[in-house]
């Protein structure tokens, strides 16, 4: 991971939820090339497959990036945004508040069985998630997919956007992907994007979020990085879980949007 020589200057005045979301988008785009293309494809699939008044589950929602886009694109849509991070869920509630009750934010831990009990009653037309499920172990990932297959009605879809790293069998593609990631980070940081650490330092300056930082540290203290699960594992796990049709709807090097239909 490339780090710029110094942190970008903070804007004058108190930081707002929308400021932090904007900074989050820039920070994430530094680590995920063509990130907006991912979201465009996901939204296009929803528009082609789902009703206008769809209900979406935003899984591991962070500060609400996906839900914000869904509710803006589809004025009749509703969304449930779920995450285990108390700081990001608090930020998501502020970001999504202007949508007049069309978004519900809940806290639950995908790594533990029973996480779906936190969801409100009702069914979902789609589940969307981005740059999140790689934090789960392969066993936890299969358990989440299995729970989703149990929850979702026939015909609903799941879209998972993430880096699905190439393995030892593809050394050239793995090298090219790593080189591309490093180049995008250098350019983004030189252009003023914050690193992951710098964004969190800025979030800690927000009074409401600062109070939640100790709880965040407690919740994630025992979460070591997981070995990457390749594309083939995701597709096999989705089939095993009970999804009837799986594949990819977008790819750029090792970055994919995986599709599954219940």
Please determine, for residue 176, whether its predicted confidence score (pLDDT) is greater than 50.
yes
Q: Is the pLDDT of residue 7 over 80?
A: no
According to the model, what pLDDT value does residue 95 have? 96
For the record, the structure tokens of 110 come out as 């995908």
For the segment 145-155, what is each residue's pLDDT rounded down to a tens digit?
A: 999 999 999 99
- Side by side, the strands of the sheet bearing 55-59 are 103-107, 78-83, 55-59, 126-130, 157-163, 255-261, 245-252
Task: Give how far Cα 12 sits from Cα of 17, 196, 226, Å.
Answer: 15, 21, 38
User: For residue 208, what are the domain limits?
Assistant: 17-261
pLDDT in tens, 211-253: 999 999 999 998 888 888 999 999 999 999 999 999 999 999 9
- Say which CATH number the domain at 229 has: 3.40.50.150
Residue 196 lies in a domain: yes
Average of per-residue pLDDT values in the chain = 94
pTM score: 0.93
Closest CA to 163 of 66, 38, 262, 42: 38
Q: For position 13, what pLDDT does the model report?
A: 53
> Is the pLDDT at 79 greater than 90, yes or no?
yes
Residue 9: pLDDT band (50, 70, 90) is very low
Residue 11 lies in a domain: no
Go through the chain and tell me how many residues it has: 262
pLDDT digits (tens, 9 = 90+) for 27-77: 999 999 999 999 999 999 999 999 999 999 999 999 999 999 999 999 999
Q: Let me know if residue 6 belongs to a domain.
A: no
pLDDT at 12 over 50: no
Does 210 reside within a domain?
Answer: yes
Question: Does 151 reside within a domain?
Answer: yes
Domain count for the chain: 1
């Amino acid at each position: 991971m490339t780090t710029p020589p110094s942190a970008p200057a903070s804007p004058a005045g108190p930081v707002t939820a929308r400021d932090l979301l904007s900074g989050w988008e820039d920070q994430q785009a530094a680590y995920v090339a063509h990130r907006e293309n991912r979201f465009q494809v996901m939204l296009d699939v929803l528009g082609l497959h789902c009703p206008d008044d769809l209900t979406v589950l935003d899984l591991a929602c962070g500060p609400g990036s996906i839900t914000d886009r869904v509710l803006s694109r589809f004025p009749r849509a509703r969304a449930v945004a779920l995450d285990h991070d108390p700081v990001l869920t608090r930020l998501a509630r502020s970001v999504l508040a202007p949508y007049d009750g069309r978004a519900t934010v809940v806290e639950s831990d995908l790594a533990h069985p029973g996480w779906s009990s936190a969801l409100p009653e009702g069914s979902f037309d789609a589940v969307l998630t981005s740059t999140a499920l790689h934090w789960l172990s392969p066993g936890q990932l299969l358990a989440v997919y299995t729970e989703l297959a149990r929850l979702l009605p026939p015909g609903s879809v799941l879209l998972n956007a993430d880096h699905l790293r190439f393995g030892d069998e593809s050394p050239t593609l793995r090298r090219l992907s790593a080189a591309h990631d490093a180049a995008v980070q250098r350019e983004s940081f030189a252009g003023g994007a914050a690193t992951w650490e710098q964004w969190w330092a800025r979030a800690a300056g927000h009074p409401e979020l600062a109070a939640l930082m100790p709880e965040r540290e407690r919740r994630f203290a025992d979460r070591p990085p997981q070995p990457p699960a390749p594309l083939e594992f995701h597709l096999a796990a989705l089939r095993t879980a009970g999804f009837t049709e799986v594949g990819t709807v977008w790819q750029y090097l090792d970055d994919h949007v995986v599709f599954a239909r219940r």
